[in-house]
Amino acid sequence: MLATVAVGVWLVRPSAPACVAADPPHEASSPFGYPVTAMTFAPIGPETSVEARYFVFGKQVSCSFRELPPDGFYAGLSTPDFGHADLCGAFLDIASPRGSVRALVVDRCPACAPGQLELSAAAFARIADPADGVARVGYRLVRDPQPAQELTYEVQPDSSASWFGVLFGGSGNPLRAAAVRPAAGGPWRPLIRRADNYWTLSGAGPGPFTARVTDVYGNEAEITDVMVEPGRYATRTRLYSGAPSFTSAPVLATSTGPTTVASRCGR
């Protein structure tokens, strides 16, 4: 049986996506000291910066990640930006005049306007004085954060041969699609993502399965010997490897409103 693991958070160099888009590439200066490809929910700069709010995250978050260390760097997105859990498990590089931080997207912020963020106490302290409560920031989605983390999956407790629910962790990038098929082979059956970040399928069968996850940049990974047995499991599999090149990338949003990652990368 595969080992049980918890979702983790790591801080690494930011990098940029290479998903093909209609928008021409746009190189911009970065507070992190090297060029990045513009792919910004809120472009870094005083004229287009947005508000980040200090927030103490509880044990339950909208992305359903469990056992998050309380001193980790986390972000919550507004309801329009959160969408259908589209960015759960992704990382944002967030910068203000005072500092910068990389934060894992784990939650939805119902009180936030489009573009606004809520940041965990530890993350907020990296970019502003917690006593201020709010700060002006810019932030960018990270592609292929390094080192690549091991994928995990958690089978929902009420899963059975007639209904199957699974939560993926360690993707680093936003996931676009997931599917399963019998371990012995057969056609792939797509899973449907719920707003709580679980991927589900009715009538999946007793298993075991092979699961396939695909991120918004086209990276794919297969996870073997997936059982209906509830629990959280390691996979010894990674979704990507190596740092991406700085090539053409989509602008994910402008100052007038967000565009979801998945819609610009083929979903």
DSSP per residue, 103-169: EEEEEEETTPPTT-EEE-HHHHHHHS-GGG-EEEEEEEEPSS-SSPPEEEEEE-TT--SSEEEEEEE
158 and 68 part of one domain: no
Indicate the pTM of the whole model: 0.75
My answer on whether 120 and 210 are in the same domain is no
pLDDT class of 44 with cuts at 50, 70, 90: very low
In a domain, 93, yes or no: yes
**Looking at the domain assignment, is residue 128 inside a domain?**
yes
On whether both 216 and 255 belong to a single domain, the answer is: no
Is the pLDDT at 6 greater than 80? The verdict is no
**183-217: per-residue pLDDT in tens?**
999 999 999 999 999 999 999 899 999 999 999 99
Q: For residue 224, give its domain range.
A: 150-238
Q: What CATH number has the domain bearing residue 103?
A: 2.40.40.10
Q: State mean pLDDT over 31-42.
A: 32
69 and 129 together in one domain = yes
Q: Is residue 204 part of a domain?
A: yes
**Closest by CA position to 134, among listed 151, 152, 111, 106:** 111
Does residue 116 share a domain with residue 44? yes
Q: pLDDT averaged over the chain? A: 77
The answer to whether residues 249 and 133 belong to one domain is yes
Would 3 be classed as within a structural domain? no
* Within-domain flag for 11: no
Give the pLDDT confidence of 107-130 residue by residue, as tens digits: 999 999 998 999 999 999 999 999
Quickly state the pLDDT bin for 92 (edges 50, 70, 90): very high
Higher pLDDT among residues 223 and 256, named by residue? 223
Please write the tens of the pLDDT for every residue from 212-253. Answer: 999 999 999 999 999 999 999 999 999 998 766 433 333 233
Cβ contact 216:174 at 8 Å = yes
